[in-house]
Amino acid sequence: MDSILVSGGGELNGQIPIAGAKNACLTLMPATLLSEEPLTLTNAPRLSDIKTMTELLQSLGAEVTSLQDGQVLAMSSHDINNHTADYDIVRKMRASILVLGPMLARDGHAVVSLPGGCAIGARPVDLHLKALEALGAELELKDGYVHAKAPGGLKGGTVDFPLVSVGATENVLMAATLAKGTTVINNAAREPEIVDLADCLRKMGAQIDGDGTSTITVQGVDRLHGATHPVVTDRIELGTYMLAPAICGGEVELLGGRLNLVGAFCEKLDAAGISVEETDRGLKVARRNGRISAVDVVTEPFPGFPTDLQAQMMALLCTADGTSVLEEKIFENRFMHAPELIRMGAQIDVHGGTATVTGVDRLKGAPVMATDLRASVSLILAGLAAEGETVVSRVYHLDRGYEHVVGKLSGVGAKIERIKGQ
């Protein structure tokens, strides 16, 4: 397997272009299943997860063509000839469950394997299933597959989520666009990716109100048509690269960055002593002066601090002045990067869903292992500020969520290279 070699020391200066959002694109792609007409996505990220979703859609009979070096995805689902999402594909990525709602809404039946993905705790699909049942779906779990049918088509209903779920909101939102009547989704997720999906669906002819709030109302229509839609900026990639100059010093402009995507995150950066300024082209980030200050972080659904930036924020706080407390309230097993940071000299004490980080003067390079997607990039960030060399292994996780990491970071002065596995 490949690894990444990072040599620490030195400030970072320059510009980093931010790609389209992985989590948005993985949601927008299944929307093609809702219409016989073409759906084209621009500003698509070039990631292994996008290839997996492409493979899944093609296995169902959709046509997916990658154009302009992968930044444009041209899709057509005029001939869906298979309604079974097979385990061999679905196991690679949890977002695969998002084909369930669209197939069920359009054709009245679907069989989808229970999904896989990063090993960061239980992420059950029961919220997806209960939401679809509220629209009249008949569901049966058999041999690891969800067998779903709606013989007379889906019907509008009220969905009351007991807790906020981005994926379940996305699944039922897509399904509701073709359901007969009105659907009300209560306690809906408010993430920018939800708003982006709703924008795309409206371009396809859907009638949706309230996206971005906790109550979304959908008036079902008979059919959706084709559209062209740009994928929203990846707020997690944006936040990750904002931390690079915060950790290393220097000044980096993140092209395409927007404050409204990372508001709660920017509040914590400000408290730590990091300057974030809007520019004509994005966001400019620099450390204000000297050592950063410790801050406490609690992960929450949007608009709160994102769980997907917790690992990277921990890397920053490892050398902060004082003690920081990070509380993980989204996933129960998301501190697996802590032991690897400790190998680099960090002082971290984990108890359940809380990690206490006492800042040290300097981290030291070491061989470390990535345990999941966000953990992998947090170790790279830590390596940039550490003395000596850090080798991050198992970086296949990284390819699922970050395109051209080595190129983007070396472009602003980082000493980083990818070592091909034997």
Pairing mode of beta strands 158-160, 145-149: unpaired
Q: Which range (65-79, 295-309, 324-338) has the least confidence?
A: 324-338
Q: Which of 90 and 380 is assigned the larger pLDDT?
A: 380
What backbone torsions phi and psi does residue 115 show, to the nearest 5 degrees? -85, 175
Given the residues 25, 118, 200, 248, the one annotated as active site? 118
118 carries an active-site annotation: yes
pLDDT in tens, 265-274: 999 999 999 9
Integer Cα distance of 184 and 207 in angstroms: 12
- Is the pLDDT assigned to residue 123 strictly greater than 90? no
Categorize the per-residue pLDDT at 92 as very low, low, confident or very high, splitting at 50, 70 and 90: confident
Place of tokens 């779903």: 148
Integer Cα distance of 160 and 143 in angstroms: 28
Per-residue pLDDT, averaged over 217-229, amounts to 98
Is residue 22 part of an annotated ligand binding site? yes
Is residue 126 part of an annotated ligand binding site? yes
Average pLDDT, the chain: 94
Per-residue pLDDT, averaged over 277-289, amounts to 96
Vertex 372 angle, CA 144 and 348, to 5°:
130
DSSP 156: -
Place of tokens 């059919």: 223
| Residue 333 identity | N
Per-residue pLDDT, averaged over 243-254, amounts to 97
Is residue 124 part of an annotated ligand binding site? yes
pLDDT in tens, 133-190: 999 999 999 888 999 999 999 999 999 999 999 999 999 999 999 999 999 999 999 9
pLDDT in tens, 34-54: 999 999 999 999 998 899 999
Model pLDDT, residue 422: 65
Question: Quick one: 143 exposed, middle or buried, by C-beta within 10 A (0-12, 13-18, 19+)?
Answer: exposed
Model pLDDT, residue 116: 54
Is residue 339 part of an annotated ligand binding site? no
Categorize the per-residue pLDDT at 114 as very low, low, confident or very high, splitting at 50, 70 and 90: confident
Is residue 143 part of an annotated ligand binding site? no
pLDDT in tens, 398-411: 888 899 999 999 99
Is residue 23 part of an annotated ligand binding site? yes
Pairing mode of beta strands 250-255, 12-17: parallel
For 82-209, strand residue ranges (E) read: 84-85, 109-113, 138-142, 145-149, 158-160, 182-186, 207-209
Is residue 288 part of an annotated ligand binding site? no
Model pLDDT, residue 118: 41
Model pLDDT, residue 122: 44
Report the percent of the chain where pLDDT is more than 70.
98
Is residue 123 part of an annotated ligand binding site? yes
3-state secondary structure of 399: helix
Model pLDDT, residue 121: 43
Model pLDDT, residue 119: 42
pLDDT in tens, 340-378: 999 999 999 999 999 999 999 999 999 999 988 888 999
Q: Which range (86-95, 132-141, 210-219, 268-277) has the least confidence?
A: 86-95
Distance from the Cα of residue 196 to its chain's centroid:
13
